């Protein structure tokens, strides 16, 4: 047998093993939650900056995964307790760091306390915020947990984000803390309210990059493939194109 034929046989065997390995890997469940403008459903269609980034990664990897929209708490519970789960867009915090495997960042953002424009209330620190009468926030999730962990007892939780904004605008609460600046802008536009009717304070509650989180059982090889695909999307200019579509 010639050396050339032997090389061909060896290459074919390697390719065959690679295909077997790829087919034997259990399919991933890709999860997200309602959190505009990153991930949300409009007229029955999933949209958002992060949604399009993940769809681009899936296409880059030649997969056919579908993204499921679930309540945030349920999605994170599945991420902790079930196998082959990926979820986005998650803040990568110290508390979460060792619970999941990470791909990203998708974006950098923050959650600030906000108030109605023209409200003379001065809030410069977390302690100042603790002293106001009421603060509205989404009734579960990372932001709500951080507020509670920091000793906030003046909370007026709601079950949807637009309700928080309306509570602030109607003067029913002093402050809101549940959305990024881009999220506030999205909901004001959706409700046909003036974009300048809400004013951000200088007090930042959450400031972490947004990532895709994978359950711990997912192989490091798969995580590396997703990271490589994301890096290539950023390098190609496709990332900037999607960013400009949603963020400006």
pLDDT digits (tens, 9 = 90+) for 63-72: 999 999 999 8
- Cβ-proximal residues to 13 (8 Å cutoff; 6+ apart), any chain: none
pLDDT higher than 80, residue 181 = yes
Reported as a pLDDT band with limits 50, 70 and 90, residue 5 is low
Q: How confident is the model at residue 65, as a pLDDT?
A: 95
pLDDT digit string, tens, across residues 120-135: 999 999 999 999 999 9
What's 29-108+209-247's CATH class? Answer: alpha beta
- Give the sheet arrangement for strand 29-32, strand by strand: 67-69, 29-32, 85-91, 198-214, 101-116, 175-176, 135-138, 155-158
- What's the CATH code, domain 109-207? 3.40.190.10
Q: What is the pLDDT of residue 25?
A: 55
pLDDT digits (tens, 9 = 90+) for 91-100: 999 999 999 9
Does 111 score more than 90 pLDDT?
yes
- pLDDT band with cut points at 50, 70 and 90 for residue 245: confident
**pLDDT score of 73:** 87
Both tokens of 23, joined, read 């087919």
What pLDDT was estimated at residue 11? 45
Residue 23 pLDDT exceeds 50: no
Strand partners, 103: 212
- The pLDDT of residue 16 is above 80: no
Please tell me the distance from the alpha carbon of residue 57 to that of residue 61, in angstroms, as a whole number. 6
Token pair for 112: 């600030």
CA-based torsion, 154, 158, 162, 166: positive or negative: negative
User: How much is the mean pLDDT over the chain?
Assistant: 90
pLDDT of residue 15: 47
Tally Cβ neighbours within 10 Å of residue 144. Answer: 18
E strand segments, the chain: 29-32, 40-42, 45-47, 67-69, 85-91, 101-116, 135-138, 155-158, 175-176, 198-214
Q: How far lies 140's CA from each of 2, 56, 74, 100, 106, in Å?
A: 67, 30, 11, 20, 23
What are the pLDDT digits (tens) for 75-92? Answer: 999 999 999 999 999 999
Q: Which residues pair with 137 in a beta bridge?
A: 157
Domain locations in the chain as residue ranges: 29-108+209-247, 109-207
């Amino acid at each position: 047998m010639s050396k050339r034929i032997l090389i061909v046989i060896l290459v074919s065997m390697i390719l065959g093993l690679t295909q077997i390995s790829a087919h034997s890997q259990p399919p991933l469940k890709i999860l997200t939650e309602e959190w505009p403008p990153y991930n949300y459903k409009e007229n029955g269609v999933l949209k958002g900056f992060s949604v399009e980034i993940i769809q681009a990664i899936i296409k880059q990897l030649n997969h056919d995964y579908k993204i499921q929209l679930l309540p945030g708490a349920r999605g994170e519970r599945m991420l902790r307790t079930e196998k082959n789960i990926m979820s986005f867009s998650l803040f990568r915090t110290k508390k979460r760091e060792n619970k999941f495997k990470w791909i990203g960042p998708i974006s950098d953002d923050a959650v600030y306390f906000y108030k109605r424009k023209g409200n003379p209330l001065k809030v410069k620190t977390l302690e100042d915020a603790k002293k106001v009468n009421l603060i509205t926030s989404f009734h579960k999730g990372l932001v709500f947990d951080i507020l509670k962990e920091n000793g906030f007892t003046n909370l007026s939780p709601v079950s949807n984000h637009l309700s928080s904004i309306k509570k602030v605008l109607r003067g029913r609460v002093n402050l809101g803390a549940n959305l990024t600046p881009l999220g506030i802008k999205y909901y004001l536009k959706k409700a046909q309210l003036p974009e300048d009717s809400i004013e951000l304070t200088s007090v930042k509650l959450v400031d972490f990059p947004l990532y895709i989180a994978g359950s711990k059982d997912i192989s490091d090889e798969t995580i590396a493939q997703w990271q490589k695909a994301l890096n290539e999307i950023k390098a190609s200019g496709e990332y900037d194109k999607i960013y400009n579509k949603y963020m400006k």
